[in-house]
């Protein structure tokens, strides 16, 4: 229905003393997670309206390649569900216009949000119209992205590992991965590169290699990603069907929801022989400590800083005349061998073949 019709209908509901529940989302490929969620939302009142993101806003949220179904088809499927009483398509990245027009009694949202992480504009328009906000838990393992992944997994033998890269700097490790792919040494493809630094050299390298690369605003912090950035990165990498996230000189900590959504599928390269010299400029730390040997490590990412399980390492001797720069340069040469090798070793477990 269009918004004007929905407003007139809603007025009739209010006159009859009925409570309106509103929720919003992309609902690209309907699955049991959606239907259970919608049934629960409908129980919170007498009627349920779904505000559906239009195609441009789905693309902006989930990345190129989404939606899989256009907005008319998605609206038709949604309207056919027995627990849905009305569907309104909206544009832009927030449903404020629909909230303001329909003034729902209850607003329901999926459980990867908290009341605090709701978009502030949406939240203040909900508060203004006195809507009760209800966060409903999501059904684990049911999502459009996991459905897409299962369909791809049905064809694992011929399938390439889909890599997403996060990089903050020059991107020489991203380049080393891409070079190994082009040389036929790694059965993989880099499907998405995201950077928290707008003018990082990795953007140019990606462009030269014909790979998709985007800047993601990291938010207000220096060493971690803001909540919106975590979510945007997670959504883009899920939408791109990424099997493995490679941190390649990515200088921020990775936290939930990104960490949870890709549990056991995020790896990092670090310029030291871990567990020694975690943190920044590890090669300088090694030089200052006077150790005879430095190196580099590829490890799984967990919630600590450079603490996850080690996958592989390469050693580099520290020479008497080494400066921080000369040592880092030799470590980087080894990194470019190590990273593709470590990724290759993970392919059987990641693709299940």
Q: What is the set of active-site residues?
A: 270
The pair of structure tokens assigned to 264 is 């056991």
C-alpha of 313 from chain center: 27
How far is it, in rounded angstroms, from Cα 23 to Cα 42?
10
Q: Which residue, 84 or 248, is less far from ligand GAR as judged by CB?
A: 248
Among 45, 218, 249, 340, binds ligand GAR (CB under 6 A): 249
Partners of residue 173 on adjacent β-strands: none
Among 332, 338, 343, 351, binds ligand GAR (CB under 6 A): 332
How far is it, in rounded angstroms, from Cα 52 to Cα 81?
14
Q: Which residue, 45 or 171, is less far from ligand GAR as judged by CB?
A: 171
Q: Which residue, 152 or 201, is less far from ligand GAR as judged by CB?
A: 201
- Sequence-ordered alpha helix ranges (H) in 221-308: 227-239, 258-261, 282-289
Residue showing tokens 């803001």: 226
Binding mask 197-226 for ligand GAR (x = CB under 6 A): ------------------------------
326 binds ligand GAR, rule: CB under 6 A? no
Task: Indicate the helix (H) or strand (E) that contains 270.
Answer: strand 266-270
Binding mask 159-198 for ligand GAR (x = CB under 6 A): --------x-xxxxx-------------------------
Minimum CB separation of residue 305 from ligand GAR in Å reads: 8
Minimum CB separation of residue 198 from ligand GAR in Å reads: 15
On the CB side of 340, CA atoms within 13 Å amount to 24
Minimum CB separation of residue 167 from ligand GAR in Å reads: 6
Q: Within positions 88 to 117, which residues make up the interface with ligand GAR, using CB under 6 A?
A: none
Q: Which residue, 122 or 322, is less far from ligand GAR as judged by CB?
A: 322
42 binds ligand GAR, rule: CB under 6 A? no
Minimum CB separation of residue 269 from ligand GAR in Å reads: 5
3-state helix, strand, coil in the chain (%, to 5): 40, 20, 40
Local structure of 250: helix, strand or coil: coil
How far is it, in rounded angstroms, from Cα 103 to Cα 293?
65
Minimum CB separation of residue 344 from ligand GAR in Å reads: 18
Q: Which of 278, 289, 298 is nearest to 327 (CA)?
A: 289
Stretch that binds ligand GAR, among 59-67, 69-77, 123-131, 267-275 (CB under 6 A): 267-275
Q: Within positions 268 to 297, which residues make up the interface with ligand GAR, using CB under 6 A?
A: 269-271, 282
How far is it, in rounded angstroms, from Cα 94 to Cα 60?
12
Minimum CB separation of residue 211 from ligand GAR in Å reads: 14
The pair of structure tokens assigned to 176 is 């080393």
How far is it, in rounded angstroms, from Cα 236 to Cα 194?
9
Q: Which residue, 53 or 285, is less far from ligand GAR as judged by CB?
A: 285
Q: Which residue, 94 or 336, is less far from ligand GAR as judged by CB?
A: 336
Contact present, 245 and 237 (Cβ < 8 Å): yes
How far is it, in rounded angstroms, from Cα 4 to Cα 101?
8
> Could you list the residues that contact ligand GAR (CB under 6 A)?
167, 169-173, 248-249, 269-271, 282, 332, 335
């Amino acid at each position: 229905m269009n918004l004007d019709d929905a407003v007139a209908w809603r007025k009739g509901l209010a006159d009859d003393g009925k409570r309106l529940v509103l929720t919003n989302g992309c609902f690209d490929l309907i699955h049991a997670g959606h239907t259970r969620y919608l049934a629960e939302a409908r129980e919170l009142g007498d009627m349920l309206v779904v505000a559906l993101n239009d195609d441009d806003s789905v693309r902006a949220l989930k990345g190129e390649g989404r939606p899989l179904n256009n907005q008319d088809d998605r609206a038709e499927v949604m309207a056919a569900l027995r627990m849905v009483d009305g569907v309104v398509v909206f544009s832009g990245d927030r449903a404020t216009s629909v909230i303001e027009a329909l003034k729902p009694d209850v607003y329901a949202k999926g459980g990867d949000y908290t009341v605090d992480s709701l978009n502030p504009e949406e939240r203040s328009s909900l508060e203004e119209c006195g809507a009760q906000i209800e966060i409903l838990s999501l059904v684990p393992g049911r999502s459009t992205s996991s459905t897409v992944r299962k369909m791809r997994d049905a064809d694992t033998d011929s399938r390439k590992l889909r890599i997403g890269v996060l990089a903050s700097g020059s991107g020489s490790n991203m380049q080393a991965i891409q070079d190994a792919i082009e040389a036929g040494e790694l059965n993989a493809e880099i499907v998405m590169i995201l950077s928290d630094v707008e003018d990082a050299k990795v953007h140019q390298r990606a462009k030269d290699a014909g790979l998709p690369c985007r800047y993601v605003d990291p938010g207000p912090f220096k060493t971690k990603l803001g909540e919106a950035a975590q979510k945007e990165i997670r959504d883009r990498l899920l939408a791109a069907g990424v099997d493995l996230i490679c941190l390649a000189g990515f200088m921020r900590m990775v936290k939930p929801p990104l960490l949870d959504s890709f549990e056991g599928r995020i790896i990092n390269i670090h310029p030291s022989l871990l567990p020694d010299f975690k943190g920044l400029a590890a090669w300088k730390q090694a030089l200052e400590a006077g150790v005879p040997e430095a190196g580099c490590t590829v490890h799984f990412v967990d919630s600590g800083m450079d603490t996850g399980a080690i996958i592989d390492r390469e050693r580099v001797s520290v020479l008497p005349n080494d400066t921080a720069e000369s040592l880092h340069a030799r470590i980087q040469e080894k990194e470019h061998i190590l990273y593709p090798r470590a990724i290759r070793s993970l392919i059987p477990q990641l693709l299940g073949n």
